[in-house]
Amino acid sequence: MVFAAAPGAGPANPWFHPPDPSYFEQGRYVYERNCLICHGAYGRGDGELVQNWPIHPRNFTKAVFKYRSTPYGKLPINADLERTIRHGVSGTPMPVFSQLRDQDVRAVIEYIKTLAPEWKNPDNYSAPIDLPAPPAWFNDPAVRAEHILEGRTQFFTTCIPCHGEKADGNGIAAPGLVDSSGQPIHPADLRQPLRSGATLQDAWRTIAVGINGTPMVGFDGALPPARIWDLVAYVESIKVAAP
């Protein structure tokens, strides 16, 4: 979908939410107190705490956000950023910020948007995809088992080149993969808790929209929604027990 940027040139993109300057001072304050130590003074992901971490804090000046409800390549909506800030990112140093007030979360989101010019371009915004509710069969072990098998077949067709037969991230294509900055990137070990969230819907959303800046593109459109639920059932079924 193409959205018009100039007034009068067509319908404006209703999802266009450029940084709201009224939150700037409060947002900077929240950022400096809670985020700067990792994400850095200018948001480049180079804060003091990062030394020797295998997973770097996000560089906000690049405006590449992984965990979204919008199509691959688009900016996240506020609710996506709020989810990351409130729930953290499992298996990474990105903490859970449950103590922040709602208005502080909103303010820091608006502040982050001032750190990259991409947030001023309506073309980078999109409506979130429709996120269906999990099918009732997830609660019926016998039917669920059938869908796990369907999902396994789909996984072996579509996903193992990167994620590998064991879903441990060691597919044959894995060694050559690079991210959008040209750095080597490893497919996720899908037996571990997902970084993109813990619920069934988080898994569905991630498979549907993909992970920006990585070779993990979204499968929305390429696979029907029901197939993606089968994949979610399979991926859930192979989780290793927590240590």
| Nearest by Cα to 144 from 133, 136, 153 | 136
Which range touches ligand HEC (CB under 6 A), out of 4-12, 13-21, 78-86, 127-135? 78-86
Indicate which single residue of 206, 209, 230, 233 sits in contact with ligand HEC (rule: CB under 6 A): 206
Q: Is 117 in the site for ligand HEC (CB under 6 A)?
A: no
Rule CB under 6 A: choose which of 97, 125, 204, 229 binds ligand HEC: 97
Residues with Cβ within 8 Å of residue 208, at least 6 apart in sequence: 129, 218, 219, 220, 225, 228
Nearest C-alpha neighbor of 223 from the set 146, 172, 144, 150? 150
Query: The tokens 């953290």 sit on which residue?
Result: 88
The answer to whether 64 and 185 have CB atoms below 8 angstroms apart is no
Q: Find the binder of ligand HEC among 63, 75, 77, 94 (CB under 6 A).
A: 94
163 contacts ligand HEC (rule: CB under 6 A): yes
Give the residue among 220, 205, 154, 210 at the shortest CA–CA distance from 187: 210
Residues forming contacts to ligand HEC in the complex (CB under 6 A) are 34-35, 37-39, 49, 55, 57-58, 65-67, 76, 81, 84-85, 89, 92-95, 97, 108, 158-159, 161-163, 173, 177, 185, 187-188, 190, 194-196, 203, 206-207, 211, 214-216, 219, 231
